[in-house]
Amino acid sequence: MNIDSINNGFVIDHITAGRGMRLFDLLNLDELDCSVALIKNVGSKKLGKKDIIKIDADIDINFDVIGYVNPGITVNIIKNGEIIEKKQIEMPKQLVNVIKCKNPRCITSVEQELDHIFRLTDEENKIYRCLYCETQAGK
């Protein structure tokens, strides 16, 4: 398999195998007008298997989405064909408009323009709860 190198953009690496598509969807990468590669089940010494996403564009990336889906991911930032920075992504303390509250009685179900805000309440178990009604987010 031959995937072109990136001139300016990002390589999202060390994604747990099988989570790449979810990340692709939550980051809305299908809406981009540039080359995007999702490579699944790549061999990895550290993980056994992993997914990788390559984006050949200098865009704004929501690192909170990445940390929510798979903390520990490495994001390589590429400029002029060179890695200029490696970011280790951790779980965000708060998520805004990344996921929606599933509680039909939550104020966010009635007030459509209200932001969906979730706070990390249990880092060990990766549990986020709605700021308004305390409903636990589903993964």
Sorted by where each starts, the structural domains of the chain and their CATH numbers stand as: 9-88 (3.30.70.140), 94-130 (no CATH)
- Residue 55 scores a pLDDT above 90: yes
pLDDT of 14 over the 70 cut: yes
| pLDDT score at 3 | 65
Q: Which pTM value belongs to this model? A: 0.82
DSSP 134: -
In order of 4, 32, 34, 48, 111, the CA distances from 70 in angstroms are: 25, 22, 24, 16, 30
**Averaged confidence pLDDT in the chain:** 91
Q: What pLDDT does residue 139 have? A: 59
